[in-house]
Structure 1
Amino acid sequence: MRIPRFRLLSRKRTDRYEALVQGNRVTLLHDGAACLPAMLDAVESAEREILFEMYWFGSDRVGRRFAEALSDKARRGVKVCVVYDAVGSLEADDEMFAGMREAGCDVREYNPIAPWRQRFRVGLVNNRDHRKIIVVDQHVALTGGVNVGEPWAPESEGGGGWRDDMIRIEGVAALALRDVFLATWRDLGGVDPSPTMSQAELYDSGVRIPDPNEGSPVRVLSNDYRVARAAIRRSYLRQIRKAAKHIYISNSYFVPDGVIRRALARAVARGVDVKVLVPGESDVPAVHFAARRLFGWLLKRGVELWEWKGTVLHAKTAVIDDRWCTVGTYNMDYRSWRTNLEVNVTVEDDGVASAMTRRFRADLTRSQRVDPHDWGFRPLSERLLEQFFYLFRKLL
């Protein structure tokens, strides 16, 4: 397979996923009302291949709609490669995936819980594929926190209306997301659906993408078990330490390690406005309590904590100084750092970052700030639950 020849704006490592490349049209998408149609449109627009990696592939109304769209494309001759996580999609109907295979989709389960299999290892059960990636025809890609399931459908359509974000990329950075997908695909025994195009071949193919010297600079960061295990965490730390004006973070499972916490505290000490938006109601109560165990430490050092008061907050985004922002699957917790496969996209574009800042501030209007004084008087029962679940933070 040929390695795509990106126009590199900077590169401090040789890891192919960390190249900062220009020539991308970037669109920020918010909530299922915008994200799910964009994801489905990408699938339905495919002419040659679809790479589809999903932690939670439901067999509910939303999931089956995507399953049928992927199957329809496979019947029409499009190469369709699908990866779903065994734990994230635990409640999915196996017959749905069997039907997709019959239609011509190549569907593979990531790390199945199958003790009867010869290569099964109990120690690997905790390793999950938490990514959400769609790459179409090598030049359009989406990633972020949205899975294909009913919780992300709008409340007006009977869904959960979860608060979440995705990013759509049209351009050469889609090739890097394709690389991320294919690394896992090969580990599962899959064969590349087609050779990866170079940047020149991508332009020669006639697809409408920005000029190589224009568009938004994008970097794709991937947590991989072999290399770059801490790539996303390292990127967060680098940007937090460089922040001069503000750091705005939205994170659904916010249980940061000591290094991240101290970096945020030092940012506050040098006059940076640091705000973190977390769920007021979590889909994983154990993580909710473990996260709150750290609130006192953060509040004491001037970090503003806000709790989302709408439906479940599932976003994983950050914006710093209106110059750098990130969208992806990475939570600020131990699992994302050490055990999960994750992917984030960072964008170094003032216009895109400013748009994310505006969205963050709009979200704060639907949130409640955690009052440091009131926090000290919360019930003893809550303190005990926080302490208990924090002990198991590396397993949650």
Structure 2
Amino acid sequence: MKQSWKPVDHIELLENGEAFFPCVFEAIGQAQREVLVETFILFMDKVGWGLHAALLGAAQRGVKVTLTVDGFGSPDLHDDFIGPLTAAGVRVQVFDPQPRMLGMRLNVFRRLHRKLVVVDAQKAFVGGINFSADHLADFGPQAKQDYAVMVRGPIVEDIHRFALATATPKPRRPWWPRAPKAQGMNRPDASMPSWASFVSRDNRHHQTDIERQYRLAIRAAKRELIVANAYFFPGYRLLRDLRNAARRGVKVTLILQGEPDMPIAKLAARILYSYLLRAGVSIHEYCERPLHGKVALADDHWSTVGSSNLDPLSLSLNLEANLFIWDQRFNQHLRERLQYLIQHHCQHVKEPEAGHQLMWRMGLSVLVFHFLRRFPKWAGWLPNHHPALAAVTPTGQATEVTRVNEAQLDPEQRRA
């Protein structure tokens, strides 16, 4: 099946919380019928309370509002936050709510990592920005650098259908919605200047869809590739595609974390540097603050913005969503913003060190590549409790509404 492209009437890059939050809150404030929000993290800080006020106001004027958060990413929402929302008619849902054990959160794997907002089925937001104050520059040195997009036009139909399936789950069926299956890299109709394709990743029907679109774009690139990704530890096949693109003369540039919020992310990425640098890939570490973006572009038209990192969690376990864009103007604008990061806030990684250190890294890289080749299969052995989506009552107590396992699926779904 070919990739499903839809026309875009308007698309806008939103960089960091300074651009994203006001745009989202304004859209919710103008909503007339429906607001759907999915987010990994929602904190009770000034941003979380800003979203709270926007959703509460929409619900009080009769708009149907659904808020879905992840049980691991948003574990500490109190009754004084949830209560007014549910009392006003907001449907608040938690993906996989699990109690702490000895103060620790154990529901680490298979997270709802998407960040989606759809308003009146006419305007949609897709990206990597959570609803938390650490996406604002005034948060301090740990403020995150990140991206999202706002879109209008026929593509919103696909995003709305997907988000609505989460907002209104049906019993005895897998709660995660099924986005159009994306297997090809067909180009959209050249008569329309702006197109987009909404692609999701789940653990049943769309396990490799996002990774596949990255790989197709990398293999099709003729002149330039720029990938800015917070957590870079991709599968062996994607690494090989990046190396091969550089070897055939494509200018391949990676923007990775230099000041990570999780030091292990930087360590993991650096294990791969020698393999990529020897092929001619240019690597830049963003050192201004933690990089949280998940964006990329190829040549003059293709680009993507979304929630998916290029690491084992996003590519093999988490529920993710990216928007793939075919638009020359947007591609150019994203390139300008990424080039600004490179020129002003990045450190260029030089050639790998020589001698015994290089040999040690090469040996470790061999082990890493074998791990990356097999991780998707191994991921199936990790804790795999049945996915659950729970509605929250006005008292703030989660009540399970949907729990699914494969045996409950009908024969048609099992063949899908």
Please say if residues 24 and 218 of structure 1, whose CA atoms lie closer than 8 Å, have aligned partners that are also in contact: no
- Deviations 1:320-370 (CA, angstroms, capped at 9, x unpaired): 002100000011011111111100001111111111111111110110111
Mapped to 1, the partners of 2:265 and 2:369 lie a distance apart of: 8
- The aligned counterpart of 1:136 is 119
Alignment check: 8 A CA contact 2:274 2:362 kept: no
Determine if contact 1:289/1:390 at 8 Å carries over to the other structure.
no
Of 291, 295, 299, the match for 1:313: 291
What secondary structure, in the 3-state scheme, does the structure 2 residue paired with 1:314 have?
A: coil
Distance change in 2, residues 1:101/1:334 (3 Å): same
TM-score, normalised by the number of residues in structure 1: 0.81
**Cα distance change, pair 71–262 in 1 and its aligned pair in 2 (3 A):** same
Instruction: State the AA in 2 paired with 1:63.
Output: G
In the alignment, the residues of structure 2 paired with residue 316 and residue 138 of structure 1 have an alpha-carbon distance, to the nearest angstrom, of 25
Equivalent-residue separation in structure 2 for 1:162 and 1:333 (angstroms): 18
Mapping 1:33-112, distance limit 5 Å: 33-112=18-97
Write out aligned runs for 1:292-331 (5 A): 292-331=270-309
Give secondary structure in 2 for the equivalent of 1:253: coil
SS state of the match for residue 84, structure 1?
A: strand
Residue 184 of structure 1 deviates from its aligned partner by 2.8
* Whole-angstrom distance in 2 between the partners of 1:341 and 1:243: 27
Aligned to 2:262: 284
Query: Residue 280 of structure 1: CA displacement?
Result: 0.7
Give, as a single letter, the amino acid of the residue that structure 2 aligns with 1:78. V
More deviation, 218-227/270-279 = 218-227
The partner residue of 1:167 within 149, 160, 175 is 149
Paired residue for 2:202, among 217, 224, 238?
224
TM-score (norm 2): 0.77
Matching residue within 164, 167, 172 for 1:185: 167
The offset of 1:188, in angstroms, is 7.7
Native 8 Å contact 1:142 1:169 kept in 2: yes
Percent identity over the alignment is 30
Contact 1:29 1:168 in 2 (8 A): yes
Give the structure 1 partner of residue 410 of structure 2. Answer: none
Offset of 1:385 from its aligned partner?
11
Aligned to 1:269: 247
The equivalent residue for 2:406 is: none
| 8 Å Cα contact 2:229/2:294 also seen in 1 | yes
Q: 1:280 to 1:384 in 2, by over 3 A?
A: farther
Give the match's secondary structure for 2:255.
strand
Aligned equivalents of 1:266 and 1:383: distance in 2? 18
Name stretches of at least 5 consecutive residues in structure 1 with no aligned partner: 1-11, 117-121, 190-212
Q: How many Å apart are 1:386 and its aligned residue? A: 10
SS of equivalent to 2:116: strand
Q: SS of the counterpart of 1:57? A: coil
Which residue identity lines up with residue 247 of structure 1 in the other structure? L
Query: Could you tell me whether the CA contact under 8 Å between 1:286 and 1:389 is conserved in 2?
Result: no
Which stretch has the larger CA shift, 49-58 or 288-297? 288-297
Deviation at 1:69, TM superposition (A): 1.1
- SS of the residue corresponding to residue 305 of structure 1 reads strand
- Which segments of 5 or more consecutive residues in structure 2 lack a partner in the other structure? 172-190, 383-416
Structure 1 Cα separation of the partners of residues 364 and 60 of structure 2: 52
Number of positions where the alignment pairs a residue of Structure 1 with one of Structure 2: 353
**Alpha-carbon deviation of 1:307?**
0.4
Q: Deviations over 1:273-326 (max 9, x none)?
A: 001001111122222222222122111222111100111110000000021000
Does 130-139 or 32-41 show the bigger shift? Answer: 32-41
Instruction: Confirm or deny: 8 A CA contact 2:8 2:151 kept in the other structure.
Output: no
| Structure 2 partner of 1:356 | 334
Cα separation, 1, equivalents of 2:29 and 2:79: 23
Q: Comparing 36-45 with 142-151, which one deviates more in the overlay?
A: 36-45
Q: Could you tell me how far 1:180 is from its partner in structure 2?
A: 2.0
How much does 1:84 deviate?
0.2
SS at the partner of 2:194?
A: coil
Change (3 A) 1:51 1:33: same
**Distance in 2 between the 1:188 and 1:377 partners?**
58
Q: Quick one: structure 1 residues 379 and 86, their matched pair in 2 at CA, closer, same or farther if it must change by over 3 Å?
A: farther
Contact 2:115/2:129 (8 A) holds in 1: yes
Separation (CA, whole Å) in 1 of partners of 2:69 and 2:22: 20
Match of 2:349 among 367, 370, 395: 370
Any idea what SS the aligned residue of 1:96 has?
helix
Q: Which amino acid aligns with 1:218?
A: A
Counterpart CA distance in 2 for 1:375 and 1:84 is 47
Distance 1:288 1:183, change over 3 A: farther
Q: What amino acid sits opposite 2:47 in the alignment?
A: V
Aligned with 1:347: secondary structure? strand
The aligned counterpart of 1:250 is: 228
Cα deviation for residue 376 of structure 1 reads 7.4
The letter of the residue matching 1:240 is I
* Cα distance in 1 between the residues matched to 2:141 and 2:226: 28
The DSSP-based 3-state class of the residue aligned with 1:228 is: coil
**Whole-Å Cα distance in 1 between the matches of residues 257 and 251 of structure 2?**
20
